[in-house]
Amino acid sequence: MKKKQLVIFGLVVLCLIFGEKCPKAEFITQTQIIMTTTVTIVADASSRDVQEAFEAIKKVDSLMNHYNPKSEVSILNQCKKAKVSSQLKEVILKALYFSRITDGAFDITVGPLVSLWYRMEREKRLPTSEELENTLSLIGSQDIGIDDNNVWFKKKGMKLDLGVIAKGYAVDKAIEILKEKGVKNVLVNAGGDMYCLGEGPQGKWKVGIQHPRKTREIVEVIEISNRGVATSGDYHRYYTILGKRFGHIINPSTGLPVEDIPTSVTIIASDAITADALATGVFVLGPRKGMELINTLPQIEAMIISEKMEILISNGWQDLLIK
């Protein structure tokens, strides 16, 4: 088999790198562009089942992509109050939970801040203190109201950005579909947010953690089965303003991009949505506070890499390493 590399947001599926016998005859690999990223499914399943999984991901995208003016989240952002689907309500409720446990470091109301920094990049300048203060006044998950299937904002000008959680949720929905079809072994990878069910062609799924500053170097290799995994980093997406690079992850409390520490956070969790959300939350919290949080959460593991390549790992991380 011709060597093929797949490196997306800090995670590498090793059977796709080194030309191993991957996949076996009973495994199929299919890739589509959804949610503005590459989505790959490797599964011992029929092509029809895999297509249904892709449709589940597309459904999430149609509801939660704020760049799509017809999506539910866009309508909510425009109208400030809307009746939403059970899926969007579920994601918002999950986001409120992650906001609480991270003390606000994870926050889906950062939409106005994201818009501000995109505008600053276009205008080639940094925001003024007044612009930051005015925008920060619109940030805060506590100002989201939910009643039955109605969601509303308590402040005019608030906007949701589900980019920090929707991909993980979409991966979980795809896995849910495949489980219903009786599929036992599958990997769903949506731009680095992934879930590894059962085993791959060569046993447990092997995932490499990419060096945050050397894209062709792997820091560690872990084995994953029946777990979600996600990495947040400052090296793939960023703003460039006045010749300086600013990471795309914004601290909701300061309104500024998180810089220098850490450079990469990888989370292993029972599902992809948890891994996705906590990767961002811990990135904002920083190494010390982030790891303190992780070590209080059951069945959650983490690796945090700083700018100087200082590595912190959670209590159970060693158990994931290839023996």
- Helix, strand, coil percentages for the chain (3-state, nearest 5): 35, 25, 40
Q: Which residues contact 83 (CB under 8 A, 6 or more apart)?
A: 149, 150
pLDDT for the residue numbered 236: 62
- Side-chain half-sphere of 227: how many Cα atoms within 13 Å? 20
pLDDT for the residue numbered 185: 97
Alpha carbon separation from 155 to 65, 102, 117 (Å, rounded)? 22, 22, 21
**pLDDT tens digit string along 61-108?**
999 999 999 999 999 999 999 999 999 999 999 999 999 999 999 999
Q: Which domains does the chain have, with CATH numbers?
A: 65-164 (1.10.3980.10)
* Nearest CA-CA partner of 22 in 3, 45, 46: 3
Task: Give the separation between CA 279 and CA 284, rounded to whole angstroms.
Answer: 9
pLDDT for the residue numbered 212: 78
Which DSSP state fits 186?
Answer: E
pLDDT for the residue numbered 238: 67
Give the pTM: 0.90
Burial class (CB in 10 A: 0-12, 13-18, 19+), 116: buried
For the chain, 323 residues long, the average pLDDT of each consecutive 10-residue run is: 36 48 71 96 96 98 95 97 97 98 98 94 95 98 95 97 96 98 97 94 90 82 95 72 81 88 89 97 94 96 87 92 78
pLDDT for the residue numbered 13: 56
